[in-house]
Structure 1
Amino acid sequence: MTQLGHSGIEVFPLALGGNTFGWTSDEAASHRVLDAFVAGGGNFIDTADGYSAFVPGNSGGESEAIIASWLAARKNRDAVVIGTKVSTHPQFKGLAPANVAAALDASLKRLGTDYVDVYYAHFDDPKTPLAETADAFNTQRKAGKIRAVALSNYTGARIAEWLEICRREGFELPAVVQPHYNLVARQPYEREIAPVLAEAGIASVPYLALASGFLTGNYRKIGLSRKVAPYLSVVGGLLTGKHRTKKQEFGRGPRQILASRYFTAAGLAVVDVVERIAAARGVEMATVAIAWLRERPGVTAPLASARTAEQLPALLAGAELKLTAEETAALDEVSARVG
C-alpha cells in the first residue's frame, strides 16, 4: 500500500476504473471485476456521477449504483477507497457551489454511503469563479462528506490557482489530481502539471493509463457511438500492440478515429519497445505499460479499467512489476519522441 498524497489514505498502487460499469459490463460482470480486484489486493475504486450518461438509454449514475450494490452485498465499505466526481451528470453540470452540494448528495445516495473518500472536480468550470468552487469543496470536506479534495482535467496553472486560494483562505489543499498521462501522452503533464503537484505533495492518479477495457485486443469488436467517444481511453489499445497492422484497419468509426491519432511512427516505436520488454519478461504488454507509469515521479496509482475479471491479472501485475534501469531508460527515450 502507498499513501494518497497528504490525505493519510492508504491505497493499492493501481486504481480500478468504474467507467465500464453499467456500460460494457453489466451488474454481474462488474461485481466479478470488483471481486477480482479486491482479491488481487486492490482497494481504490474510481467512478464519476456522469458514468455512463454517454451511453444511449443511460441517464448517469449507473456506475455508482452498481458499486453500491456490490458494497451492500460484500459489506466492505470501510475496506475500500471510493473516488467519484462532479460536473458531468446531466442533472448536475458544472461546479457552482449549490450544484456541488446537490451532486454530492446524489452520489452519496446512489453509492449507499455517507461519505466519499476522494471527491474530484471532474472538469474545470470557467463559468464559476474558482474561489467559489474551492470553498464548496472545502465546505463538504468539513461536513465530513468527503475525506480528500481532488481535481481532474485541470491545467497546471489552474491547479496552482486553486492551491493559492486554499492557502489564502485556510482551506485544506487538494490531495489528489487525476491527469491524462501515459507512455504516448507525456505532455503537458510532465512539463506543466507534475512540478505543481510535487511542490504541494499532491498524489497523481493518471487516467488513460491503458484503455477502458480495450487491453484484451477486442478493440474492433465493440461498437461505440459518437457520444461515447470523448470518454474513451484508446491509448491502451495501442500499447497492447493489437493495432500494429494497417492504418486502414481502424475504419471510420469514432473510436477508430481517436485511436488513429496515435498511429504514428513515434507511437509505433513505443509499442515495439513495450512488446520487446514484455516478451523478455514473460508478461503482458499492459503490465509493462502500467509498471512504467507507476514508477514515474509523483505517480501513486495509475488508473485502468477492466470489462471482465479475466482482464485484471495483467493490470494487477503492473502494480508489482519492477522494471530494470535499462528497461525504464529504453521506454523513457522512445516515449519522449511522442511528446
Structure 2
Amino acid sequence: MRYRTIGTDPRTRREVSVLALGAMLFGSVTDEKTSFAVLDRYVEAGGNFIDTSDNYAFWVDAGQGGQSEELLGRWRRSRGVGDEIVIATKLGARPLAPGTSYVDNPEGLSAKVIRESAERSRERLGVAKLDLLYAHIEDHKIPLQETVEGFAALVAEGTVGLLGVSNHAAWRVERARALAAAAGLPGYEVLQYAHSHLRPRTDVPDDLFPDGSLGHAGPDLLSYLRAETGLTLVAYSPLLKGAYTHPDRLPADFDHPGTPARLAVLREVARETGASVNQVVLAWQIGGELPIIPLAGVSSVAQLEENLAAVDLELTAEQRTRLDAAH
C-alpha cells in the first residue's frame, strides 16, 4: 500500500492509504459477513482510510440512516481496531424523519446539529474522536459563520480531528475557509466530490443534485485544488457505480460527445498495461499531479482485490498525457 498525508496541522494531520474504502452500503445492502470480510481484507492489504456518513443508507429502508456507522462500530469492537484506522464520516444530510430525504428534510449545518450529530456518530462508531468530519451538503438557511464555528468548537474540544466539505460550490468552500482563517479557527482541509476520468456535463441537473452538478469536481474546483496546496480531494464514485464495465449504468449527464473519446483512450491504456479499465481509472487518479484519493465502494472481496491492484499500477507519462488530453 502507498500513503498520502491529509491535513497540514501536525496535531491533526494523518497518513492515509491512497485508496479509500467506501462503506456506504455496509450493514444495509451489503450484509454484515461480507462487509466484515471486505474490511478485514482492506486492512490486511494496508488500507486505513474508511468513509461513511450518518445518513447511510436511509434510502434502503426509508429510515434515517446510521446502519453503516453502526456496522463499522461493531467491526471495530470485534477486531480491536484503534486509531490506526482513519474513519471519516459526514453530517448535514441525514433526514430528520423516516420517509423523508436530504432534499426536503435535511438535518442541516447549524451549530446545534453539528454538535449533536457528531456525538451520535461517535457513539455509533464507538470512538472518542472522529478522525475526519465532513459537512455533507450545503445549508443555505444557516450562516456560514455559525457552521464554521460549530465545526471548529469540536476540534478545539478534541472530539474531531480534521474537517472536510462535500458537495458545496467552490465559492462557498473558499468563503468558509476564509471565515475560519480570519478568526484563527481550523477550516476545511479535505474536499469530497464525485470525480472520475469521464466528465459530466455541468449545464444539466443530475440525479443526486437536481439544482446542478455541485457534487462533481468540475474545472473550478480542480483549479482551486491546484492553487491551494494544503487541500486534498477524496474522489467518490471514481468508477461511476460500475458504468465502465456496464455502459447501461452511465448517468445521463455523461451522455455527450466527449465520452466516447475518453472511453477509447481508457481501453487503449488498459490493453497496453494488461489492467482493467477500472484499474486504469484508479491509477490515473492516484498517481496524477493533483492530490486525489479515490474513494471506491465494493460489495465483494473480489471487487476490492481488483481495486487494490490499481495501487501498484504505474502509468507512463505518455499514457497519462493521452488520458488527460482526450475529449
Same fold per superposition (TM over 0.5):
yes
Q: Does the CA-based 8 Å contact 1:239-1:289 persist in structure 2?
A: no
Q: Secondary structure at the match of 1:307?
A: coil
Of Structure 1 and Structure 2, which has the larger fraction of its residues in helix? 1
Unaligned runs of at least 5 residues, structure 1: 211-234, 244-249, 251-255
Residue 320 (structure 2) pairs with residue 315 (structure 1)? no
Residue 43 (structure 2) pairs with residue 62 (structure 1)? no
Once superposed, which parts of structure 1, at least 4 consecutive aligned residues long, lie more than 4 Å away? none
Residue 220 (structure 2) pairs with residue 196 (structure 1)? no
Percent identity over paired residues: 31
Q: Deviations over 1:8-45 (max 9, x none)?
A: 20001011011121232111111111111111111000
Residue in 2 aligned with 1:276?
268
Q: Quick one: higher RCO (CA 8 Å, sep 6+), 1 or 2?
A: 1
Q: Does the CA-based 8 Å contact 1:2-1:300 persist in structure 2?
A: no
Residue 136 (structure 2) pairs with residue 122 (structure 1)? yes
Q: Does the CA-based 8 Å contact 1:206-1:299 persist in structure 2?
A: no
Residue 18 (structure 2) pairs with residue 26 (structure 1)? no
Residue in 1 aligned with 2:207?
none
* Structure 1 counterpart of 2:325, one-letter code: E
Matches within 5 A, 1:42-191: 42-91=47-96, 93-185=107-199, 189=217, 191=219
Residue in 2 aligned with 1:207?
236
Residue in 2 aligned with 1:239?
244
CA distance, structure 1, for counterparts of residue 289 and residue 316 of structure 2: 16
Residue 55 (structure 2) pairs with residue 41 (structure 1)? no
Range with bigger deviation, 98-107 or 309-318: 309-318
Residue in 2 aligned with 1:218?
none
Unaligned runs of at least 5 residues, structure 2: 97-105, 203-215
Structure 1 residue 84: deviation in Å? 0.1
Q: Does the CA-based 8 Å contact 1:4-1:300 persist in structure 2?
A: no
* Structure 1 counterpart of 2:222, one-letter code: A
Residue in 2 aligned with 1:230?
none
Q: Does the CA-based 8 Å contact 1:15-1:46 persist in structure 2?
A: yes
Range with bigger deviation, 75-84 or 200-209: 200-209
Q: Does the CA-based 8 Å contact 2:193-2:233 persist in structure 1?
A: yes
Matches within 5 A, 1:316-331: 316-331=308-323
Residue in 2 aligned with 1:296?
288
CA distance, structure 1, for counterparts of residue 126 and residue 304 of structure 2: 26
Q: Does the CA-based 8 Å contact 2:148-2:187 persist in structure 1?
A: no
Residue 278 (structure 2) pairs with residue 259 (structure 1)? no
Structure 1 residue 192: deviation in Å? 1.3
Q: Secondary structure at the match of 2:238?
A: coil
Q: Secondary structure at the match of 1:172?
A: coil
Q: Secondary structure at the match of 2:164?
A: strand
Range with bigger deviation, 45-54 or 85-94: 85-94
CA distance, structure 2, for counterparts of residue 297 and residue 121 of structure 1: 26
CA distance, structure 1, for counterparts of residue 229 and residue 322 of structure 2: 30
Distance 1:293 1:236, change over 3 A: farther
TM-score (norm: length of structure 2): 0.86
CA distance, structure 1, for counterparts of residue 219 and residue 113 of structure 2: 32
CA distance, structure 1, for counterparts of residue 260 and residue 78 of structure 2: 44
CA distance, structure 2, for counterparts of residue 175 and residue 264 of structure 1: 33
Structure 1 residue 71: deviation in Å? 0.5
Q: Deviations over 1:78-109 (max 9, x none)?
A: 22000000012223710000011010011011
RMSD: 1.8
Q: Does the CA-based 8 Å contact 1:283-1:314 persist in structure 2?
A: no
Residue in 2 aligned with 1:306?
298
Residue in 1 aligned with 2:212?
none
Q: Deviations over 1:301-331 (max 9, x none)?
A: 1111011111012211222212111111111
CA distance, structure 2, for counterparts of residue 279 and residue 113 of structure 1: 44
CA distance, structure 2, for counterparts of residue 141 and residue 111 of structure 1: 18
